[in-house]
Amino acid sequence: MTIPNSNKVYPRSNDYQTVYLKNVITRNNIKVGDYTIYNDLYNNPRDFEKNNVLYHYPVNNDKLIIGKFCSIACGAKFLMTSGNHTMQSLSTYTFPIFGEEWDETLKPKDAWDNKGDIVIGNDVWIGYDAIIMSGVKIGDGAIIGTRAVVTNHVPPYTIVGGVPAEVIKKRFSDDVIFKLLKIKWWDWPYEKIQASIQYIQLGNIDKLE
């Protein structure tokens, strides 16, 4: 049995469009779990931080947190706090970050409404060109449809789609979802997951308990 090299970038030989995302991240304010993949058909997937995590300025101290075994499709975007111009002011113009032009006593963090971190659970599939807005939390096992714009939290094992994204359906019955959230197979050791893949693929929850 061969356990994957935890530092490898490309999961498959001769496929340079897909990366293990954790191993190309350099920013301290982005955290990604093991085996999560990102695929890019047009750009270098190693440039995920630059091309896909937008308006992520250190002044707001917000984080992007992504769990294990997620599948992120080409063009998915994460719009962080600094893309959220404040609506508490009489103007949405970001005067505080242009202090040298207007007033250097203004506080840069007051230019935006900070809705908090984006938190993606485990085993989440984010579709092509989907957009996840700041402050959104997506539960384990959820599916985000192609070009969906996610503005609200998504419950575990729920499929959402559209603009703005709305619930389409749950993936499984409440009983199965409860069992999956209790089992947390993504936290198992590599050997146990490998031995259970056939049951995971066939949807045999009883064999996982």
pTM: 0.94
Q: Model confidence at 27, in pLDDT bands (50, 70, 90)?
A: very high
Catalytic hit among 31, 85, 171, 179: 85
Domain ranges of the chain: 18-171, 173-209
Segment 63-118, tens digit of pLDDT: 999 999 999 999 999 999 999 999 999 999 999 999 999 999 999 989 999 999 99
Q: Tell me whether residue 85 is one of the annotated catalytic residues.
A: yes
**CATH code reported for the domain at 18-171:** 2.160.10.10
4, 12, 9, 31: which is closest to 193 by C-alpha?
4
pLDDT at 2 over 60: no
3-state secondary structure of 138: strand
Instruction: Using alpha carbons, select from 175, 151, 147 the residue that is nearest to residue 161.
Output: 147
Q: For residue range 153-195, what is the model confidence (pLDDT) as tens digits? A: 999 999 999 999 999 999 999 999 999 999 999 999 999 999 9
